Amino acid sequence: MNILLFGPPGAGKGTQSALLVEKNGFAHISTGDILRSAIKNQTALGLKAKEVIDKGELVSDEIVIGLVDEAITNLKNKSFILDGFPRTVIQSERLDEMLTKMDKKIDKSIFLDVETDFLIKRLSGRRVCKSCGASFHIEANPTQSEGVCDKCGGETYQRADDEADSIAKRLDVYEKSTAPLKDYYQAQGSLVKISGLGSMDEVYGRINEVLKA
Ligand code: AP5
């Protein structure tokens, strides 16, 4: 089974993907993670993407479509979660074409619904490990020792795009470019909306119910 996890910035896509990888054995394809890794390694793509991401804008469709095509091809037949892709209708259309060519499909398009006030709180309190990328929250999921990753002992930091101006921009871009995907997947019959509120385990439980249905 292949699933698409989408929703506004801070809805919990990365958090739930990590649980689904750990407990259900999915492969995880996150365009945000791929782009941040390119920035960290200072590749040509990373240098190009950094400014756009820090401002809260979207990287070009062509770039992310190429990244996802490569990632899915490399997985061969493993079940996967797409997190953060697609986020424009063009990306959705190109994903469908790509999957048809590979004789694959998305079985469930799960939309994580979270109100804006909660999103802002989640994003502004997020801390991420510089070494392993694990994500924490200063209130909901704090590290045991401030600034130190519980998983690998690396240093945690606040993403540049989690500062107030970028958060506002990302929420705006989400409404204009990504929210229309709800209609796209509703029309295809794969859309399942679930609440992303409550504890991380509660949300994970809801996703599991969807996967079992
Ligand atoms: P990306 O990394 O994909 O960012 P995003 O979609 O904005 O999503 P986030 O990572 O911010 O949030 P999330 O939903 O994963 O939430 P998380 O689980 O971390 O993309 C970054 C940038 O890359 C984009 O802005 C764009 O520039 C570029 N990009 C990426 N993909 C692209 C594409 N396809 N096309 C074009 N450009 C692209 O949770 C957030 C916080 O909340 C954490 O601190 C977490 O601990 C906490 N939390 C999670 N769940 C709960 C809960 N249930 N209760 C309380 N706290 C919780």
Q: What pTM was computed for the model? A: 0.95
- Residue 206 phi/psi, 5-degree rounding, is -65, -40
Determine the residue of 17, 45, 81, 126 to mutate for testing ligand 1's pocket, defined as the one with the most ligand atoms within 8 A of the Cβ atom.
126
**What is the spatial distance between Cα 127 and Cα 17, in angstroms, rounded to a whole number?**
17
Residue with tokens 């074409």: 97
The domain at 3-26+79-212 falls in which architecture? 3-Layer(aba) Sandwich (3.40)
Q: Which residues line ligand 1 (CB under 6 A)?
A: 9-15, 31-32, 35, 52-53, 56-59, 64, 84-85, 87, 91, 122-123, 125-126, 135-137, 140-141, 161, 170, 199-200, 203
pLDDT at 77: 87
Tell me, in angstroms, the distance from the centre of ligand 1 to residue 116's CA. Answer: 13
Structure tokens at 101: 């060519």
Where do the DSSP E strands lie in 116-209? 126-129, 135-137, 156-157, 191-195
Catalytic machinery residues: 13, 87, 126, 159, 170
Name the nearest CA neighbour of 28 among 19, 39, 40, 38.
19
List, for residues 168-204, the tens digit of each pLDDT value.
999 999 999 999 999 999 999 999 999 999 999 999 9
Q: Which residues of the chain have pLDDT under 50?
A: none
Question: What length is written for the chain?
Answer: 213
Instruction: Return the domain boundaries, the chain.
Output: 3-26+79-212
